[in-house]
Amino acid sequence: MLDRVDEYRSCLAEPDQWAIATVARVSGSVPRPVGTSMAVRADGTTIGSVSAGCVEGAVVDASLTAIETGRAVVQSYGYGDDDGLSVGLMCGGNLEVLVQPVAQLEPALRALLDERRDRPRSALLRPLRGPRSQRPIVVDLDTVTAAQLEREIGPGAGALLEQVRHGGSSVLDIRETGGPTCNVVQQVLVQSRRARPCLVIYGSNDYAAALCSAAALLDRYVVVCDARPVFATPQRHPGADEVVCEHPADHLRDQLLRGRLDSRSAVVVLTHDPRYDLPVLDEILRTPVGYVGAMGSRRTHERRAQELLHGGLPRECLDRLHSPIGLNIGARTPAEVAVSILSELLAVTSGHRDVEDIVPLRATTGSVHGARRAREVVR
C-alpha cells in the first residue's frame, strides 16, 4: 500500500466506498513485487494495478465484496487452469493478495499521510492470518520496541523487531514459543517506509541533467552539486530535488555528518577535474555507500586510481569504484549514458556485485525476477 499512499488520499473522502488490494506473497515469475497495491471503488473505478492485467478483474470482484461485507480477505492466484485462459497468472507464478476495506485502513492511512514527506520512517503492519483482528497498525521505525510489537500484534511478535526495522515489504511468521520449527500461529504483512535513497551527482553538465531526469523514474532523491555558480542552477537540472553550489568535498563531508548517505545511496562523479574528483572519491570510497561511479576515459581512470592509492586509499576501497562508469550498452548521447549509469547502479544495489556477470534474461534460468545465469548459453 505504501507504493501509492499519496494517491489514496482521495479515498478518505468516502472510506466506505473503497477497498485497497495489496500483493502480500509471491513465488515464481510474477509481474509485480510484494507491496504493490491498487484501490477499487464501489462503482468499479480503480487506482493502480497488482499485475500486468492477468488478475485485475478478479481482484476488483474481491474488492467489491470486501466493500460490501466490510471484511478483509486474502485471495490466492496462480497459473490459470485447463487452457491457461482462466483467472490466473500467464507468467506461471503465484501470488496472494490482501484485500481490505479503506474503512478499516482509514486511521493507518491518515497517519501515513500526516508523516513528514522528507523523513518517512514508519512501518504498516497488517495481520493476514491468525486470531487477531484485521486492524492495521503504524509504528515508528526509530522508536518501536519488542514490547510494543508484543502488545499490538501478540505473543512472539517481539522476536521480529529487526525484520520490521529492516524495511521493504514481506510477510512475517509468528510461531509458537519454542523455535523456528514450531507452528505458525499468525502471519503479518509488514511494509516499511524509509526516505527515498539518495543519488548525489558531483559535476554539472549535460550528462548530469540527463541523469537527474532518468533517476526520478527510479524514485531516487537526486542532489546535484557543483562549485561553479553559473552551472549549479535549478534551471539546468529540472529533474533534481536539490541543486547546490558548493565545493564537492565540503558538500560530501556535510552529507556524511548529517547521516544522509547509507548503503542504499549512490554517488556519481562527473566533474572531470582532479581537484574535485580526488577528495570526493577518497572520502566516499571509505564508506558503505551502495554505489560509487566516476566518469572518464580509461586513461583518466588509471591516473585517478594511481593518485588515490598513492594518497593512502586502501586497494579494497578502490575496488568499489565503478569507472569507467556504466554498463557497456553502446551509449553515446547524454540520455543513453544516463541509462547506462542507472543500469549499473540498479544492478549493483540489487546484489549483482560482479557486473561482468550480468547477461540478458534469455541467457538465464529460473524465475524472471530471480533469474540465475545459465551454465551454458544456447547459441
Residues 202 and 187 placed together within one structural domain of the fold: no
Q: How far apart are CA 313 and CA 319, in angstroms?
A: 10
Structure confidence by residue, pLDDT tens digits, 286-308: 999 999 999 999 999 999 999 99
Residue 59, C-beta contacts closer than 8 angstroms, at least 6 positions apart: 21, 38, 40, 50, 75, 97, 99
Residue type (1 letter), 309: L
194 band by pLDDT with thresholds 50, 70 and 90: confident
pLDDT in tens, 73-125: 999 887 554 433 344 455 556 888 999 999 999 999 999 888 766 566 888 99
Q: Which whole-number Å values give the CA distances from 146 to 77, 141, 150, 164, 186, in the listed order?
A: 34, 11, 6, 10, 16
Q: Confirm whether 251 is domain-assigned.
A: yes
Residues 240 and 315 grouped into a single domain? yes
Whole-structure pTM over 0.85, yes or no?
A: no
Evaluate whether residue 70 is within a structural domain. Answer: yes
Whether 375 maps to a domain, the answer reads: no
**Are 11 and 153 part of one and the same domain?**
no
Structural domain boundaries, residue 271: 198-357
Number of domains in the chain: 3
Same domain, 132 and 87: no
Rounded to an integer, the average pLDDT of 272-284 is 93
One-character DSSP codes across 117-141: TT---EEEEEEEESSS----EEEET
335-346 average pLDDT score: 95
Of 105, 133, 158, the residue at which a domain comes to its end is 105
- Indicate if 123 and 186 belong to the same structural domain: yes
- For every residue of 239-301, DSSP letters joined together read T-SEEEES-HHHHHHHHHHTT---TT-EEEE----HHHHHHHHHHHTTS--SEEEE---HHHH
Q: What pLDDT score was predicted for residue 207? A: 96
Q: How far is CA 159 from CA 146, 173, 176, in A?
A: 7, 10, 11
Q: How many CB atoms lie within 10 A of CB 236?
A: 18
Residue 316, domain CATH: 3.40.50.720
Structural domain ending residue among the three candidates 45, 73, 105: 105
Question: Is residue 372 situated within a structural domain?
Answer: no
3-state secondary structure 167-185: CEEEEEEEECCCCCCCCEE
| Chosen domain end from 105, 137, 156 | 105
